[in-house]
Structure 1
Amino acid sequence: MTERLARAHTAVASRFLNGSLICLLLFCMACAPPRSSRVTIGAKNFTEQVVLGELLAQEIEAVTGKGVERRFYLAGSYICQQALVSGRIDGYVEYTGTALTAILKQPLPPVGQRDEARVFETVRRLYAQRYHVRVEPGLGFENTFAMVVRGDEAQRFGLKTISDAVPHANTMRLGVGYEFEERPDGLRGLEAAYGLKFGDEPRTMDLGLLYRALSSAQVDMVAGNSTDGPIRALRLVALEDDKHYFPPYEAVPLIREDSLQRHPGIQTAMDRLAGKLTENEVRGMNDAVDGQHRDVADVVREFRRSKGL
């Protein structure tokens, strides 16, 4: 009798537990945020990304006549990727070299095979296969990593290339963003390729603080981006990557395939933006926002007018 009662109690408890789990699952599904009926564009947490995110958003609005939600200042590539895959955003602008190594976890191609077309095709194929995301044609410019020094230091030591900096590296303080220190196409690979040996561990900081630290001599070299506005505004020098260590970093919009089906106007907007930007134009918009403190929406709107968009 006692054994039969125990089995009965176990069965009741099991049914109660299963029922509770089902109720909990239904509750969570009911509470999960639905996919927005509006297009949502994301961007990472630095000026150029916000400029490019605003450019995509304005062009989609112009084509569709509908408002676009902005989710800018997402922490970095990994956060943007998760937001894209989960459907929290419909698209954002990524750089092909970053997509290849940091997101897709592909090894760096041999130096002779790091051409733009080869990297783009690999990235396009893998995003389609793994994530059902379309890699759109490039916006027209590349934003590669750049090792940047102060202009007076470059002149004093005759620094034009990264190789020129090797004999001085042990006395230089390096500043880098958080991603650059860990990425496969980042600091450790660069040090190995050039034989760079810095005297101290690099100072890691938010990307927005790098140039402030460099100009105030808190560091002597930073890992920036070739299109950063402060390079021109502060008369800094971006050292040439004379060993061609960095892969191509072509700026390309990434858009979910199901978003393109639900909002066909996105594709029209992406086609209109393809090849429209030069490196100098992007650097100018970055400087207008960073150096001149202009509103990013006004800067982008002015650029689009200049292109007849």
Structure 2
Amino acid sequence: MKKTLKKIALASVALLALTGCGLSPSTGVVPASAPGSIQPIADLPDNATATVTSKSFTEQLLVGKIAVIALQTAGFNVTDMTNVPGSQPARELVLSNSANMVWEYTGTAWLTYLGHEEPVVGSEEQWQAVHDEDAGNGIYWGRPAPMNNTYAMAMNEEVTEKLGITKLSELRDLDAADLTFCVDPEFNSRRDGLTPMLEAIGLTRGSDVPESNIGLYDVGAIYSATAAGACNFGEVFTTDGRIKALNLTVLEDDIQYFPSYNMAPMINAEFHAQWPQVAEIMGTIAPLLTDEVLQTLNAEVDVEGREPADVAFEWMVEQGLVTEP
């Protein structure tokens, strides 16, 4: 799986598939921008180009548009190739330098692209492992953001007040009647899902947590079910905008059970060698991308129905990264 020749072959097949699908630049338009803390790159040629890609879900569209706006402000002629369907196609675009960068998740790279079966414990350690190994594939990884879009357990307001717990490990101190869960079928059965999570906490499924305490839902329905009190603990993704919109409280993963999915700029190494300033620009943005920020921005798109490009631009103006022209 990790052999270089096999990766090259897989990349070639994926690129042929992309070509066959007629992949084209995003039709979305980003607002015009003027310099803020992001300044034009000195001596950048007028014909300098950059292509940004992203996957097709809300969070990826938001950070993709942030990168597009940042690079156009820096002086590049930017091709916006955000909204690519699927993780692997987006990566293959960067591997081939058909796109120059994407914001990617360290856990996805380690477990899916690089083929490892176990995550590396610790956000910094996981990023470093990906940074080092993926260099052999012609990929440069910039510094990660603090946001970590991983699994978590969340409670509604009433349960938060009633149980008074804040950490995952504290589930072991609860009565069986309070250990009720809303999860999706995949998380219910996967080897790094619910059952091993309970074991890591010190609970046994079937005895400490009766099967009748576990409800199966579609991923999207879990948020509303948890908010409505169908269960005390719902499986969520930590940067989902519905956490804030429904006033859910996320339990701290103090046992470090869930893999780290911090986001970082994944840049084609050839492009990085030519324009190292791009990683520097993304390095000024990354520290601002926290779980709370992404929850807010995601909610503006998913809950309020706004356009990702507009939300991204307004946030960048608020942060002083760019200004209105």
Same-fold status (TM-score > 0.5) = yes
Structure 1 residue 212 corresponds to structure 2 residue 224:
yes
User: Residues 44-76 of structure 1: CA distance to partner in whole angstroms, max 9, x if unpaired?
Assistant: 52x32222122112212222342332332634x
Q: Which moved more, 1:228-237 or 1:208-217?
A: 208-217
1:303, distance to aligned residue in structure 2 (A)? 1.4
Greater gyration radius: 1
Q: Tell me the amino acid that sits aligned with residue 175 of structure 1.
A: V
Distance 1:258 1:185, change over 3 A: farther
Report the structure, 1 or 2, having the larger helix content: 1
The 10-residue stretch of structure 1 (212-221 or 94-103) with the greater mean CA deviation from structure 2: 212-221
2:102 — aligned with what? 92
Give the alignment's TM-score, normalised by structure 2: 0.68
Residue among 178, 183, 187 paired with 1:175: 183
State yes or no: 1:203 paired with 2:216: yes
Could you tell me which runs of 5 or more consecutive residues in structure 1 were left unpaired when the two chains were aligned: 1-27
Alignment of 1:153-168 (within 5 A): 153-166=159-172, 167-168=175-176
Deviation of 1:263 (Å): 6.6
Alignment of 1:306 onto 2:318: yes
Question: How many residue pairs were aligned?
Answer: 273
> In the alignment, is residue 74 of structure 1 matched against residue 72 of structure 2?
no
Question: Given the alignment, which residue of 244, 248, 257 partners 1:232?
Answer: 244
Tell me how far 1:135 sits from its aligned partner: 0.9
Q: Distance in 1 between matches of 2:294 and 2:263?
A: 11
SS in 2 for 1:139: coil
Show structure 2 runs of 5+ residues with no match.
1-15, 26-48
- The question of 1:101 aligning with 2:120 is answered no
Alignment correspondent of 2:134: 127
Q: Which amino acid aligns with 1:98?
A: T
- Which letter does structure 2 place at the counterpart of 1:91? M
Change (3 A) 1:173 1:281: closer
TM-fit CA distance, 1:300: 0.9
Does the 8 A contact of 1:229 with 1:283 survive in 2?
A: yes
Match of 2:267 among 238, 250, 255: 255
Tell me if 1:148 matches 2:154: yes
1:229 CA displacement: 2.4
Counterpart residue type for residue 72 of structure 2: E
Rounded Cα–Cα distance in structure 2 between residues aligned with 1:88 and 1:184 = 35
Task: Provide the rounded CA distance (Å) in 2 between the counterparts of 1:279 and 1:71.
Answer: 22
Q: How many Å apart are 1:211 and its aligned residue? A: 1.7
Equivalent position SS for 2:317: helix
1:172 CA drift (Å): 2.4
Q: How far apart, in 1, do the equivalents of 2:233 and 2:133 lie?
A: 35
Q: Of 289, 293, 296, which residue of structure 1 is paired with 2:305? A: 293
Distance 2:148 2:312 in 1: 18
**Range 191-200 or range 32-41, more displaced:** 32-41
TM-aligned CA distance change 1:298 to 1:161, over 3 Å: same
Give, as a single letter, the amino acid of the residue that structure 1 aligns with 2:134: Y
